[in-house]
Amino acid sequence: MAIRSPALLPGPLSECLDGEAPIAVRLVDVESRMDVLRLPLSRSGEPYRRLLVFLRHGGNPLGWIALPVSPDGEVSLEVLAEAFGLPAEAPVSATDALGEPCSNSTPISAMESLLSVVVATCANAESVIRCVEAIQASVAGPFEVVVVENRPACSTVEGALEERFPGDERIRYVEELRPGLSWARNAGLRAARGDLVAFTDDDVLVDPAWVPAVRAVFAATPEVGCVTGLILPLEIETPTQLLVERFASFGKGFVPRIYSLDTPPPDQPLFPYTAGYFGSGANMAFRTGVLKNLGGFDQVLGTGTRARGGEDLDICIRLLHAGGRLAYEPRAIVWHRHPDTQARLRQRVFDYGVGLGAMLSKQILTGPGRWAIVSRAPQGIRYYTDPESRKNAMRDSTFPRSLSRLERAGLLYGPVAYLASRFGTPR
């Protein structure tokens, strides 16, 4: 099967999602020199319509290429090297996590430190096992995994962990009876023994390069207190998952960045209050002492509370206001399973709006930058409603307007949800 000049897209995946589901998603390391890929049938039993290849070279993300799939599920990969101009035998240079050449003077303490990975769950034993297995495949250096069960009354997670990882003292189980993702994550933080602590979700599979990439950023940049990374779709099997990735992608691009209040990014006029620029809680790591000094995650916010979310952006804003620095590292990749039904998507969209509104309400009521938020409210409204804004640019005429209305309804309800959660949460 001959293919000519596929386009390498270094931007969001949404730019090349103009087909229909099911669409296969695969990662290809260029140095593997694969010629042909054979795909199985999709989860529904249908043949895949297209293949989306996420290209990586020497650990560095390059972009997406969309390729056709033959009726027998075969995809030619012969043109991948040509598509982005890589010589046939290009050497792979050693770089640190920020894309600069490594040197012998780079501190190695973070590379040797114990890393604690916290995984919160609500009685999802099967998902937890897959998640922990992926973490094990990613580890470089000493590590531990702290699984926090937030719904212990009906959980089989502890038994499943003991059965799958018998006698492995690096896999630890903790229970948190108070409902809420922030409660669970803070329980994991208290139990963590590492100098570094990372957080991910049980519906995520971390990439094998995740731990090395996170460690490398901390080692190369001692001033950084938090590292977030790239979140990619684990699958696009249903029209709903395609919709999520086309119009609400978790991807934040392939360019490493360091954020601080001292040097606000010129392309983010609402910095640091615009949701989603920094990353998400499913892919977030901290120096443990920094996070503890901040008091951990706000237990008024987060999934499982009346506020329904917002705790991940809140902790980033608090870190920046405390004088800290945050690094976004695209080599630290996790693969996220998007909602696969309309009902789940609608619930997720509403909860996202509520969480954002709750987080902003907290910042206005108690945050050090409350007047900055109020003064920039007109800009925020334009960002949220302008069809040309970064948030809405990919929402063309095919995007269900009911989802936009649902998100805005959640945003308006957010202040009420925050107050209800704040005054109903035990301290």
**Which residue(s) pair with 25 in the sheet?**
52
Q: What CATH number does residue 298 fall under?
A: 3.90.550.10
Amino acid (1-letter code) at residue 231:
I
Q: Supply the pLDDT for residue 276.
A: 73
Phi, psi of 218, deg, nearest 5: -60, -35
Same domain? For 40 and 164 the reply is no
Tokens (6 digits) for 16:
């090349």
Element (H, E) at 314: helix 311-321
Q: What distance in Å separates the CA atoms of residue 372 and residue 190, rounded to the nearest whole number? A: 33
Q: Supply the pLDDT for residue 317.
A: 95
Q: What ranges make up the beta strands (E) of 288-414? A: 325-336
Same domain? For 69 and 114 the reply is no
Residue 269 lies in a domain: yes
Alpha-carbon distances of 209 from 46, 205, 212, 272, 352, rounded to whole Å:
31, 12, 6, 28, 29
- Look up the domain containing 320 and give its range: 109-338
Same domain? For 170 and 259 the reply is yes
Q: Supply the pLDDT for residue 186.
A: 98
Residue 138 lies in a domain: yes
Tokens (6 digits) for 206:
């971390």
Same domain? For 333 and 349 the reply is no
Same domain? For 223 and 134 the reply is yes
Over its C-alpha atoms, the chain yields an Rg (Å, rounded) of 21
Q: Supply the pLDDT for residue 325.
A: 97
Same domain? For 256 and 144 the reply is yes
Same domain? For 118 and 147 the reply is yes
Does residue 149 contact residue 155 with C-beta atoms inside 8 Å? yes
Q: Supply the pLDDT for residue 275.
A: 64
Same domain? For 37 and 183 the reply is no
Q: What distance in Å separates the CA atoms of residue 39 and residue 148, rounded to the nearest whole number? A: 36
**How many structural domains comprise the chain?**
3
Strand order in the sheet with 50-57: 23-29, 50-57, 60-68
Same domain? For 245 and 284 the reply is yes
Residue 2 lies in a domain: no
- For residue range 30-86, list pLDDT tens digits in order: 776 667 788 999 999 999 988 888 888 878 888 888 888 888 888 877 766 555 555
Does residue 416 contact residue 307 with C-beta atoms inside 8 Å? no
Q: What distance in Å separates the CA atoms of residue 379 and residue 105, rounded to the nearest whole number? A: 44
Does residue 69 contact residue 39 with C-beta atoms inside 8 Å? yes
Give 277's contacts (C-beta < 8 A, 6+ positions apart).
252, 268, 271
Q: Supply the pLDDT for residue 90.
A: 41
Amino acid (1-letter code) at residue 191:
A
Q: Supply the pLDDT for residue 85.
A: 55
Tokens (6 digits) for 95:
């770089």
* DSSP SS3 for 135: helix
Amino acid (1-letter code) at residue 284:
M
Which among 296, 313, 338 is the end of a domain? 338
Produce one character per residue of 151-160: b if its CB has 16 or more CB atoms within 10 Å, e if not: bbeebebeeb
Residue 145 lies in a domain: yes
Element (H, E) at 375: helix 370-375
SS3 breakdown of the chain: % helix, strand, coil, rounded to 5?
35, 20, 45
- For residue range 171-207, list pLDDT tens digits in order: 999 999 999 999 999 999 999 999 999 999 999 999 9
Same domain? For 362 and 288 the reply is no
Q: Supply the pLDDT for residue 1.
A: 33
Same domain? For 73 and 151 the reply is no
Q: Supply the pLDDT for residue 219.
A: 95
Which residues of the chain fall below pLDDT 50?
1-5, 87-107
Long-range contacts of 76-80 (CB under 8 A, 24+ apart): 76/1, 76/2, 76/3, 76/35, 76/36, 77/28, 77/34, 77/35, 77/36, 77/37, 77/53, 78/3, 78/35, 79/3, 79/4, 79/5, 79/6, 80/6, 80/28, 80/30, 80/34, 80/53, 80/55
Q: How far apart are the first and last CA of the chain?
A: 64
